[in-house]
Structure 1
Amino acid sequence: MSDFLSWFKNAGGTLSPLVGITEFPGMSRGAIALDDIEEGFTLFTIPRNILLSTRTTELRKRLGEADWAALGSGWQPLIVSMMWEESRGNNSPWNGYLRDLPNQFDTLMFWSEEELAELQASTIKDKIGRTDAEQDYLENVYPIICRRSDVFDPALLGSHFSGERFHINGSRILSRSFHVEEWETEQASDHDGDPNHGSPANDNEDDDTVPTLIEHVEAEPSMEVDGNANESDEDEDKEQVDDVAMVPMADILNARYGCENAKLFYEKDVLRMISTKDIARGDQIWNTYGDPPNADLLRRYGHVDLIPMDNKESNASSPFPYENPADEVEIRADLLLDICLNNASESEKSQRTDVWLSLGGDDTFAIDKSDLLCKDMLRMIKYLSMTDEEVQDAVAKDKLPKGKPSGEILAKAIAVFQARLSQYTSSIEGDEGFLSAFTGPPNRLFNATFVRLCEKRLLKRAIEQGEAVLAQEGARSKGGKAKRPREEERELRRDRKKIKK
Structure 2
Amino acid sequence: MSRRLRAFKRWMNSNGIAYSDALEFVDSPTDGISVRAVCKLKEGDLVVTIPKQSCLTIRTSGIASLIEAAGLGGCLGLAVALMYERSLGAASPWEGYLQLLLERECVPLVWTLEEVDNLLVGTELHKIVKEDKKFLYEDWKEFIEPLVQSLRLEVAHDSFGVDQYFAAKSLVSSRSFEIDEYHGFGMVPLADMFNHKTGAEHIHFTSVSYSSSADDEDDGGEVLDASADALTSSLGNIPNPPLEIILVRDVEAGDEIFNTYGSMGNAAMLHRYGFTEPDNPFDIVNINIELVLQCCSSLFSNRHLRARLSTWRKLNYSGCTTRDSEYFEVAFDGEPQTELLILLYIVFLSEDAHQKTKCAADSLAAADDDTKLIQFLEVTQTKCDPKSKFVGVKEMLLTENVCWVLGSLSRIRDGSYGSTSLGEDVRRLQECCRVKERKLYHALVLRVGERQILRRLRAYGSNRLRKSKMRGGSKPFRRC
Structures share fold, TM-score greater than 0.5:
yes
Quote the offset at 1:412 in angstroms.
1.8
Quote the offset at 1:64 in angstroms.
5.2
Task: Please tell me the residue identity of whatever aligns with 2:423.
Answer: E
Whether 2:416 is the aligned partner of 1:423: answer: yes
**1:208-230 deviation digits (Å, cap 9, x = unpaired):** xxxxxxxxxxxxxxxxxxxxxxx
| Match runs of 1:164-179 below 5 Å | 164-179=163-178
Task: Please tell me the residue identity of whatever aligns with 1:325.
Answer: P
**Local SS of the residue matching 1:287:** coil
Match of residue 31 from structure 1: 35
- Give the structure with the higher percent helix: 2
Match of residue 361 from structure 1: 318
Backbone CA RMSD of aligned residues: 2.9
Match of residue 299 from structure 1: 271
Q: 1:381 to 1:74 in 2, by over 3 A?
A: farther
Quote the offset at 1:344 in angstroms.
6.3
Distance in 2 of aligned mates of 1:469 and 1:457: 18
Distance in 2 of aligned mates of 1:244 and 1:405: 46
Distance in 1 of aligned mates of 2:405 and 2:300: 16
Task: Please tell me the residue identity of whatever aligns with 1:301.
Answer: Y
Quote the offset at 1:335 in angstroms.
0.7
Deviates more, 1:443-452 or 1:363-372: 363-372
| Match runs of 1:174-213 below 5 Å | 174-182=173-181
| Match runs of 1:131-142 below 5 Å | 131-142=134-145
| Match runs of 1:162-311 below 5 Å | 162-182=161-181, 243-267=184-208, 269-306=241-278
Q: Structure 2 length as normaliser, TM-score?
A: 0.75
Kept after mapping to 2: 8 A contact 1:59/1:81 = yes
Q: Structure 1 length as normaliser, TM-score?
A: 0.72
Quote the offset at 1:271 in angstroms.
1.6
Whether 2:349 is the aligned partner of 1:394: answer: no
Quote the offset at 1:357 in angstroms.
6.4
Whether 2:445 is the aligned partner of 1:454: answer: no
Number of positions where the alignment pairs a residue of Structure 1 with one of Structure 2: 397
Quote the offset at 1:28 in angstroms.
2.6
Distance in 2 of aligned mates of 1:353 and 1:174: 38
Q: 1:448 to 1:371 in 2, by over 3 A?
A: closer
Quote the offset at 1:92 in angstroms.
3.8
Distance in 2 of aligned mates of 1:436 and 1:427: 14
Unaligned runs of 5+ in 2: 209-239, 320-325, 374-393, 475-480
Q: 1:413 to 1:180 in 2, by over 3 A?
A: same
Task: Please tell me the residue identity of whatever aligns with 1:367.
Answer: V
Match of residue 236 from structure 1: none
Distance in 2 of aligned mates of 1:45 and 1:112: 39
Deviates more, 1:82-91 or 1:45-54: 82-91
Q: 1:26 to 1:405 in 2, by over 3 A?
A: farther
Kept after mapping to 1: 8 A contact 2:295/2:405 = yes
Match of residue 212 from structure 2: none
Q: 1:345 to 1:28 in 2, by over 3 A?
A: farther
Kept after mapping to 2: 8 A contact 1:106/1:302 = yes
Quote the offset at 1:60 in angstroms.
4.0
Match of residue 285 from structure 2: 329
| Match runs of 1:4-83 below 5 Å | 4-24=8-28, 26-62=30-66, 65=69, 68-69=70-71, 71=72, 75-83=75-83
Report sequence identity in percent: 24
Unaligned runs of 5+ in 1: 184-241, 307-322, 480-501
> RCO higher in 1 or 2 (8 Å CA, sep ≥ 6)?
2
